[in-house]
Amino acid sequence: MLTLTDIYLKSHNGELLTQDEAWRLYSEAPLAELAAQADMLRQKLVPDPSVVTWQIDRNVNTTNVCTSGCLFCNFHCKPHQTEKHFITTIEQYCSKIDTMIALGGNQLLLQGGMHPQLGIEFYEELFRELKHRYPTLRLHALGAPEVAHIAKISGLTTQQTLERLVAAGLDSLPGAGAEILVPRVRKIISPAKPSVEQWLEVMHQAHMMNLPTSATMMYGHIETPQERVEHLIRIRDLQAQVPEGNYGFIAFIPWIFCSTGTQLEKRGVVSHFSPLEYIRIIATARLVLNNIRNIQASWLTVGKQTAQVALHSGANDFGSIMIEENVVSSAGANNHFDANGIQKAIREAGFTPKLRDQLYNLL
């Protein structure tokens, strides 16, 4: 059996860890040693280790109507709750985009519920109109479950759906809707959402088309520690199939489940944030996902200090200033940064802040 030192070495050499080896890192490695090893790998994989990147973008929700009803989500409303419905209008998008541009951003993170009546034509028209009005705007839009939903109600394959969305202006796919990629967990927390296999299939198709993507993990609800590691292995294995030269997953972003007011909380599942556990997840992710270059610290959910420690434990990106975020914020995540604040936090942690674009190019 390999020692922990052997497993670190294997990861540093770019070899893929087995699930058992990944589990041993997560469950057995002393935290300070794990974080130091993850930091060493970060220094090897990131072009300038003294730099921590950050971004200006804006999260806008297309609609809150959703057929899925995930038990962790306070944001959505059901199709029959017509008094609560919204579909964002073009005028509202323009006002939000103008604010973002004035702050120096050029990317819209566009996500929403799985509306039973909004098929491919709705999104094609929306993307075309936004790109017509703002030709340099980047659209980081629709999670894999939304793509699967649009494909289903439009009678299209995943590939056809992605091709049409890209032709209309989609630039990259966020990693939303992954939660924990284990069927047992998904059946409990989001039974009506497209399955684990569908999430992986959409991402696989995106990777084959060379559409940039990211991957996420929402932990701290009903999953077991072993299922967190299983999630990492699924992401890592999909990344290993990306054709040479294609983007694949550009970044991995784990965040903590926030329970306030959710259906899960009503069932007794309450979030207990442990900064040390978060650091263990960041460090393990860096070593297991040794084929993904960027690991993002989610300051929105874990706060400034924990996110700063994460930068010394494998993470190399501080995410976005998030001009607007409604999903995790509505479940109790209340941390905020402006452009000065995020750069100050990065400097305090001992790094040089550099603004990046959505492909992690320095600006």
Residues lying near ligand SF4 in the complex (CB under 6 A) are found at 66, 68-70, 73, 75-76, 113-114, 145, 190, 193
Shortest Cβ 5–ligand SF4 spacing (Å): 41
Per DSSP bridges, beta strands 294-295 and 249-256 are: parallel
Shortest Cβ 123–ligand SF4 spacing (Å): 15
Backbone angles phi, psi at 105, to 5 degrees: -90, 160
Q: How far apart are CA 75 and CA 330, in angstroms?
A: 7
Shortest Cβ 75–ligand SF4 spacing (Å): 5
Shortest Cβ 168–ligand SF4 spacing (Å): 21
* CB-nearer residue toward ligand SF4: 226 or 330: 330
Which stretches within 169-294 are classed as H helix? 183-189, 196-208, 225-240, 263-266, 275-288
Which structure tokens are listed for 141? 């839009």
* CB-nearer residue toward ligand SF4: 190 or 308: 190
Shortest Cβ 111–ligand SF4 spacing (Å): 7
* CB-nearer residue toward ligand SF4: 66 or 181: 66
* CB-nearer residue toward ligand SF4: 146 or 171: 146
Shortest Cβ 89–ligand SF4 spacing (Å): 19
Residue type at 48 in one-letter notation: D
Q: How far apart are CA 66 and CA 139, in angstroms?
A: 21
**Crossing angle of helices 225-240 and 196-208, rounded to 10°:** 30
* CB-nearer residue toward ligand SF4: 72 or 337: 72
Specify whether the CB–CB gap between 202 and 176 falls below 8 A: no
Q: How far apart are CA 66 and CA 116, in angstroms?
A: 7
Q: Exposure of 64 by Cβ count < 10 A (0-12 exposed, 13-18 middle, 19+ buried)?
A: buried
Shortest Cβ 85–ligand SF4 spacing (Å): 13
* CB-nearer residue toward ligand SF4: 69 or 79: 69
Specify whether the CB–CB gap between 217 and 178 falls below 8 A: yes
* CB-nearer residue toward ligand SF4: 72 or 351: 72
Please give the span between the terminal C-alpha atoms of the chain, in angstroms, as a whole number: 46
Kindly give, in sequence order, each residue whose CB lies less than 8 Å from that of residue 230, ignoring residues fewer than 6 positions away.
19, 181, 182
